[in-house]
Amino acid sequence: MIIAIDGPAASGKGTLAKRLAEHLGFHCLDTGLLYRAVARDVAWLGFRLDDTWAAVAVARGLDPRELEDPDLRGTAAGDAASIVARIPEVRAALLAYQRDFARRPPGAVLDGRDIGTVVCPGADVKIFVTATPEVRARRRFAEFEARGAGVAYETVLSDILVRDARDAGRPNAPMMVAPDAMLLETSNLSIEAAFDAAVGLIKRKISHPGRS
């Protein structure tokens, strides 16, 4: 069984995906980390982030087991990720790993931007998680504060807006709601309430597979 969770920056999809995977005993893949790691390594090698040749070479050689680096979670890493993520060959190079991961038994939860549309268009359940940019910025800001990262709220908000525009506006695999995805608006929901709502959506989908 495959559960696809997509949504804009800091929408809470990662937290939700992890909780769902734990609850169901499924594997979980935060696909954003793949793009973040590619960007980190391209920069580390001294290339520009929009250098297609370098980014593709890094993406092809990426070891997806090495995604534990805490620096990957920062704002700079997210912004850099969205630049390499625009390169179609980078996306293509990361596709087979994501699809293989999705097929791991007994099931997998993947979160990202194009899981329900490109990576796993046949996913059993697709949820698109949203919240207003201000709510998302407040949540991400709180995460950074808890980790002691000195980033201003305004910086977090503007990063989110820039990234959303870049991700939705790219021609290849743009962030969009899959036609058969179920929307989960979490602006007024706690993590717990969002989790309960997602479980409800999954149950509904499984008992009425044709409906979205």
Residues that bind ligand CDP (CB under 6 A): 9-10, 14, 31-32, 35-36, 78, 81-82, 85, 112-115, 163, 167
Q: How far apart are CA 93 and CA 116, in angstroms?
A: 18
CA atoms within 13 A on the CB side of 70: 5
Q: Measured from the CB atom, is 71 or 207 closer to ligand CDP?
A: 71
Are 90 and 84 in contact, with CB atoms under 8 Å apart?
Answer: yes
Q: How far is the CB of 136 from ligand CDP (least distance, A)?
A: 8
Q: How far apart are CA 190 and CA 199, in angstroms?
A: 14
Q: How far is the CB of 174 from ligand CDP (least distance, A)?
A: 9
Q: How far apart are CA 182 and CA 205, in angstroms?
A: 9
Q: How far is the CB of 25 from ligand CDP (least distance, A)?
A: 23
Q: How far is the CB of 166 from ligand CDP (least distance, A)?
A: 6
What is the CB neighbour count within 10 angstroms for residue 188?
10
Q: How far is the CB of 17 from ligand CDP (least distance, A)?
A: 10
Q: Measured from the CB atom, is 36 or 40 closer to ligand CDP?
A: 36
- Please identify the residue of the shown chain whose CB is closest to the bound ligand CDP: 32
Q: How far apart are CA 64 and CA 59, in angstroms?
A: 10
C-alpha distances in angstroms, 118 versus 65, 96, 101, 153, 190? 22, 11, 14, 33, 29
Question: What is the SS3 assignment for 111?
Answer: strand
Q: Measured from the CB atom, is 138 or 204 closer to ligand CDP?
A: 138
Q: Measured from the CB atom, is 149 or 204 closer to ligand CDP?
A: 149
Based on C-alpha coordinates, what's the Rg of the chain?
16
Q: How far is the CB of 165 from ligand CDP (least distance, A)?
A: 10
Question: Taking Cα atoms as reference points, which of 107, 88, 106 lies closest to residue 3?
Answer: 107
Q: Measured from the CB atom, is 124 or 204 closer to ligand CDP?
A: 124
Q: Measured from the CB atom, is 140 or 205 closer to ligand CDP?
A: 140
